[in-house]
Structure 1
Amino acid sequence: MCIELIDEKRLKAFENALKDLAKTVQDNLGGKCKISILDINNKEVLIK
C-alpha cells in the first residue's frame, strides 16, 4: 500500500496517516507493516 504527500507543509499529517494506515492493516488484516518514505535521498525500497 502507498500514499503520496502532495503538500510538503503537511508532513506531520502525512506521517500520522502512515501510522494510521499501518495500524489499520495490522488490526484488520493481521499484516505486518514497515513504513518507508521515498524522497530525493531515499529513491528505492526493498520489498521482502
Structure 2
Amino acid sequence: MRSSKYTEHYTDTFITFKEIMRTVSNIYHNCVPDKIKNRRNTDQLK
C-alpha cells in the first residue's frame, strides 16, 4: 500500500492549508475593521 506516501502528502497539504489560513486570517483582520466601520457609517446615513 502507499500509506507512507499518502501520509506525507496529507501532512504537506495540511501544513500548506495552515499557512493559507494564517495568511487569510491576517488579511481578514486587517480588512474587516474598515468594512465594519464603513457599514456602520452607511447604516447611519440611510
> Which TM-score band (shorter chain)?
0.3 to 0.5
Greater radius of gyration (CA): 2
In terms of fraction of residues, the more helix-rich structure is 2
Larger RCO (alpha carbons 8 Å, 6+ apart):
1
